[in-house]
Structure 1
Amino acid sequence: MTGAIRYQSRRFRPLVAAICLGAASVLSAPALARGPDGIADVAEKVIDAVVNISTSQTVEAKGGSSGGDRGAMPQLPPGSPFEEFFDDFFKNRRGGPGGGSRGGEAQPRKTNSLGSGFIVDTAGIAVTNNHVIADADEINIIMNDGTKIKAELVGVDKKTDLAVLKFKPPAKPLVAVKFGDSEKLRLGEWVIAIGNPFSLGGTVTAGIVSARNRDINSGPYDSYIQTDAAINRGNSGGPLFNLDGEVVGVNTLIISPSGGSIGIGFAVPSKTVIGVVDSLRQFGELRRGWLGVRIQQVTDEIAESLNIKPARGALIAGVEDKGPAKPAGIEPGDVVVKFDGKDIKEPKDLSRVVAGTAVGKEVDVVIIRKGKEESRKVTLGRLQDDKAVQASAKTKEEPAEKPVTQKALGLDLAPLSKDLRTRYKIKDSVKGVIIIGVDNASDAAEKRLSAGDVIVEVAQESVANAADIKKRVDQLKKDGKKSVLLLVSNAEGELRFVALSVQ
């Protein structure tokens, strides 16, 4: 056996030498190839401010269950790349297969989970993710030295997945960290993640900023920092630091088929976190600005119809009667391109900046109306998160007796009679020309227009009958326009803009 080992050693000696040479070449490269030297200094300075978040929850086990209760998990959009990861994670943390009660008896049981967080005030204030503490009966903060302290919930914001905790500081002085400016982060800049992956305790990883303002469709205010710093299960709620030791983000999500880090992690930027934390500490709830409009994307076709070059901004599809935008003179068809001095490139830009603006503040809003820029002053209201919008289910039925129709744009159009209102359950407040048929091969079908929709305006002018629509479409063709902009209402009166080809 010994001879065999010596033989293999001699046999692989050239390979080892080659590897050593390669290592020598790497070592001769600049030190920055291994990352900046300041990482150790930053970690040493902030490690005591990073805490583990331990939660427990009593759940009722269903009799005869063969798997653990999933418990509370983050609400993610269907088909999200994170669904599989969180399904896996929460199933495992609640007990996994075999975690059900024996003999079919439903016995309450206590489940535990661990996450990460960080101290922002030596008076005993910590920040973490909402999904780390969601539905917990008891929350404990575990310091870097192992000290365990019971914590209370100050408030949560589900839309940004953030939570603020308070606890009684121990005799030993606490270390708190400060927030940095996430807006100043550059692509390729080094960042450091510290947290509690797989319950291992304070773990430091480093990487770069891979992307900024990343929208992953997990919420209305998505603007994540993407990083390749290793983030794993248990890192949720932990801080992402810059090389000055400032918190620039809160580690929240990863993309991973296995649940382990593959170098694609996401952190809520400090710009968002600061506003949420301040509001939760002051009011115990989040108070967001409210404009009182419904918005949609400005597509290339819509931009061409509105004489906007290049396509940009947020198109106002509807204005609430009791909202702040109404008295300011903002109307459907306006395109918001600047809000409170900030450029609006797409609808989510407007959602984020409005939500982050103080309630009651008067702001300047720049709109484009019929190809010209105009300015409006708006005093923001407060968004009521408890105003749940219930989408009414509507059953569209084909009329028993087909009315007289006229064709245009691949649509069968008819006057909005009393009979059609009843059949399609259209509110009395909705005015215009009703669609009772759509050519499946038309642009209208591709844009999801359907029977029961009502055309309210064509090229930003009201229409009362099908002849009006045909006349305006014919005129646009003569003028050399490629598309026509329709303002369309559903049965409930909710409006949206649709651009259809006139060629």
Structure 2
Amino acid sequence: MIRTKSWAIFSLAMAWLMMSLQVQARNLPEFTELVEENADAVVNISTKNNQEDRSMNGMPSLPPGMEIPEGTPFDDFFKRFFGQPGQPQPPQANSLGSGFVLSEDGFILTNHHVIKDADEIVVRFSDRTELTAELLGSDERSDVALLKVDPQGLNLKAVKLGDSMDMKVGEWVLAIGSPFGFDYSATAGIVSALGRSLPSDSYVPFIQTDVAINPGNSGGPLFNLDGEVIGINSQIYSRTGGFMGLSFAIPMDVVMNVVDQIKDQGYVSRGWLGVVIQDVTRELAESFGLRKPRGALVSRVVPDSPAAKAGFEAGDIILTFDGKTVETSSDLPPIVGRTAVGQKTTVEIMRQNKRQSIAVVIEELPEDEQLAAVGQSNKMTGRFTDDRLAVEVIDLTAEQRKQAEVEGGVIVFKLESGPVAKAGIQQQDIILSLNNVKIESAEQFVEIAEALPAGKSVPVLVQRNGAAQFLAIRIPD
């Protein structure tokens, strides 16, 4: 009787387990229909570079009078290994990527890096039809390129566009592309994060996924479960060159903004504020009077920039821009970049523990935004030491200030183990302000340092290799 009862309980448990597994299996997404409906809209893109006319496959022609006589052993050798002298070489395939049909009249999207420096762009469709594409425009900062082909009577299949702003972390997504040249490969995963900022692409809030993306997937579409394109696969994080679980796609709202500008004006312009920013750490938040880390901390205002004209100062913490909340420093560049050139915008900041609003007129982002490097010089002027901070500082010469593009500041000449070193300050750093007081000389620096309160973090603005940043100094009790 006991065995019968135990067996019945075991059978019920197994039945419950099998039913649960079946329910979970039914809840997993089904991608077959999505792939069947959209594969024809995905294209393979290859580029060709027309090499210059060279005599020996990249080797320069011999000078006049130095030609190799025909029929000699040397003539046979050069023909065998370098080709016919003076004969132009055929175009060479240079890159391979993916793309997708944006509209039935022949507009196609891909990445800028897929078609960069191409002399000829060839688009191959799912039926193996190949068409030469015209490059209408591309944008290196967003890595988006817009192509146009003549459909020539072909019935092109276009994708449906989705709203990347509606995406949520954890949603299923699907990519179709040509990894390593394997056409129309489909890979799936989930959205891992939204609004990712990468060091080389601060103006794009990337969609991070764990979809398997490899070389050749670049420029291909990222679909949601409704079969809508919500991004263009652009980059991977990898230590090996292959997929490692971190893939990044350009959101379609960013892409379509680029497309509209290329169609309207032939190029892409972005808004520019003209500040160098950094994240607010816990220590810096305390030193600036914030209850928690938030916002974008201005470490430098570019001279003659919109921010300089509006009255921004180093030490301002940008909390909102044009009504949009700035939680971290990476939030700000995409917001500013999408702001129309010439638009007057209200920015809410925290300055000296007080909130205030600044009106600024946005200008166009310059092509090459450069910060001057810090000049090095052995010539010393004023030289002072503060034992409590364990640091020795010297005045900058007029030449050094000109090279560094600073008006005041002192150079860290020597430091020992103490509050300054623990804050991350290094030798040759230029200290521009201490506890929100602008530093004019080494003597003044020591006077301000002596009055710093113990047991409290205070901000210090330093410039290193042309880049300014805030650090927090805490003097022990």
Structures share fold, TM-score greater than 0.5: yes
Q: Distance in 2 between matches of 1:487 and 1:191?
A: 43
For residue 288 of structure 1, what is the amino acid of its counterpart?
R
Q: Is the 8 A contact 2:213 2:247 kept in 1?
A: yes
Matches within 5 A, 1:48-63: 48-59=40-51
Identify the match of residue 394 of structure 1 among 375, 394, 418: 375
Q: In the TM superposition, what whole-angstrom CA distance separates every residue of 1:183-240 from its partner, at most 9, and x where no partner exists?
A: 2212221111111233232233322223323344342235322223332332111000
Q: Is the 8 A contact 2:401 2:408 kept in 1?
A: no
Q: Distance in 1 between matches of 2:213 and 2:42?
A: 15
Is 2:29 the counterpart of 1:36?
A: yes
Identify the match of residue 485 of structure 1 among 433, 455, 459: 459
For residue 475 of structure 2, what is the amino acid of its counterpart?
V
Residue of structure 2 equivalent to 1:499: 472
Identify the match of residue 91 of structure 2 among 97, 105, 110: 110
Is 2:459 the counterpart of 1:469?
A: no
Residue of structure 2 equivalent to 1:407: 386
Q: Is the 8 A contact 2:384 2:446 kept in 1?
A: no
Q: In the TM superposition, what whole-angstrom CA distance separates every residue of 1:49-84 from its partner, at most 9, and x where no partner exists?
A: 21111211235799899xxxxxxxxxxxxxxxxxxx
Q: Distance in 1 between matches of 2:26 and 2:115?
A: 38
| C-alpha deviation, 1:111, in angstroms | 2.6
Task: Determine helix, strand or coil for the equivalent of 2:202.
Answer: coil
| C-alpha deviation, 1:262, in angstroms | 4.8
Matches within 5 A, 1:184-223: 184-223=166-205
| C-alpha deviation, 1:143, in angstroms | 1.6
Higher mean alpha-carbon deviation, 210-219 vs 24-33, is at: 24-33
| C-alpha deviation, 1:261, in angstroms | 4.0
Q: Distance in 1 between matches of 2:248 and 2:409?
A: 47
Task: Determine helix, strand or coil for the equivalent of 2:214.
Answer: coil
Q: Distance in 2 between matches of 1:215 and 1:62?
A: 47
| C-alpha deviation, 1:354, in angstroms | 0.6
Q: Is the 8 A contact 2:374 2:465 kept in 1?
A: no
Q: Distance in 2 between matches of 1:464 and 1:394?
A: 18
Task: Determine helix, strand or coil for the equivalent of 1:476.
Answer: coil
Q: In the TM superposition, what whole-angstrom CA distance separates every residue of 1:78-115 from its partner, at most 9, and x where no partner exists?
A: xxxxxxxxxxxxxxxxxxxxxxx975789856332321
Matches within 5 A, 1:101-500: 103=81, 108=89, 110-112=91-93, 113-256=95-238, 259-385=241-367, 387-389=368-370, 391-392=372-373, 394-397=375-378, 399=380, 404-407=383-386, 409-416=389-396, 420-422=397-399, 424=400, 426=402, 430-445=406-421, 447=423, 449-450=425-426, 453-477=429-453, 480-489=454-463, 495-500=468-473
Q: Is the 8 A contact 2:197 2:206 kept in 1?
A: yes
Q: Is the 8 A contact 1:305 1:499 kept in 2?
A: yes
For residue 48 of structure 1, what is the amino acid of its counterpart?
D
Q: Distance in 1 between matches of 2:440 and 2:394?
A: 10
Higher mean alpha-carbon deviation, 168-177 vs 242-251, is at: 168-177
For residue 128 of structure 2, what is the amino acid of its counterpart?
G
Higher mean alpha-carbon deviation, 389-398 vs 296-305, is at: 389-398
In 2 relative to 1, CA 226–432 (structure 1 residues): closer, same or farther, beyond 3 Å? closer
Task: Determine helix, strand or coil for the equivalent of 2:308.
Answer: coil
Q: In the TM superposition, what whole-angstrom CA distance separates every residue of 1:417-462 from its partner, at most 9, and x where no partner exists?
A: xxx445x465597443523522142343455545554434322223
For residue 36 of structure 1, what is the amino acid of its counterpart?
P
Higher mean alpha-carbon deviation, 167-176 vs 455-464, is at: 455-464
Q: In the TM superposition, what whole-angstrom CA distance separates every residue of 1:377-419 from its partner, at most 9, and x where no partner exists?
A: 222111022x3526447334364xx855232522213455xxx
Q: Is the 8 A contact 1:142 1:148 kept in 2?
A: yes
In 2 relative to 1, CA 463–397 (structure 1 residues): closer, same or farther, beyond 3 Å? closer
Q: Is the 8 A contact 1:452 1:491 kept in 2?
A: no
| C-alpha deviation, 1:241, in angstroms | 0.6
Q: Is the 8 A contact 1:427 1:491 kept in 2?
A: no
| C-alpha deviation, 1:332, in angstroms | 1.8
Q: Distance in 2 between matches of 1:491 and 1:56?
A: 40
Task: Determine helix, strand or coil for the equivalent of 2:33.
Answer: helix
Measured on the aligned residues, the alpha-carbon RMSD in Å equals: 3.4
Which blocks of at least 5 consecutive residues in structure 1 are unaligned?
A: 1-20, 66-100
Task: Determine helix, strand or coil for the equivalent of 1:214.
Answer: strand
Q: Is the 8 A contact 1:435 1:450 kept in 2?
A: no
For residue 130 of structure 1, what is the amino acid of its counterpart?
H
Q: Distance in 1 between matches of 2:258 and 2:27?
A: 36
| C-alpha deviation, 1:352, in angstroms | 1.4
Q: Distance in 2 between matches of 1:318 and 1:263?
A: 36
Residue of structure 2 equivalent to 1:6: none
Q: Is the 8 A contact 1:183 1:271 kept in 2?
A: yes
Q: Distance in 2 between matches of 1:378 and 1:259?
A: 43
Q: Is the 8 A contact 1:55 1:137 kept in 2?
A: yes
Q: In the TM superposition, what whole-angstrom CA distance separates every residue of 1:101-151 from its partner, at most 9, and x where no partner exists?
A: 975789856332321101112222111011211111110111222221110
Q: Is the 8 A contact 2:44 2:96 kept in 1?
A: yes
Q: Is the 8 A contact 1:115 1:236 kept in 2?
A: yes
Q: In the TM superposition, what whole-angstrom CA distance separates every residue of 1:280-324 from its partner, at most 9, and x where no partner exists?
A: 222222110111222122222222221112111111122234222
TM-score normalised by the chain length of structure 1: 0.77
Q: Is the 8 A contact 1:485 1:498 kept in 2?
A: yes
| C-alpha deviation, 1:255, in angstroms | 3.9
In 2 relative to 1, CA 145–227 (structure 1 residues): closer, same or farther, beyond 3 Å? same
Q: Sequence identity, in percent? A: 38
Higher mean alpha-carbon deviation, 39-48 vs 118-127, is at: 39-48
In 2 relative to 1, CA 466–261 (structure 1 residues): closer, same or farther, beyond 3 Å? closer
Q: Distance in 1 between matches of 2:377 and 2:420?
A: 18
Q: Is the 8 A contact 2:348 2:356 kept in 1?
A: yes
Higher mean alpha-carbon deviation, 124-133 vs 454-463, is at: 454-463
Task: Determine helix, strand or coil for the equivalent of 1:277.
Answer: helix
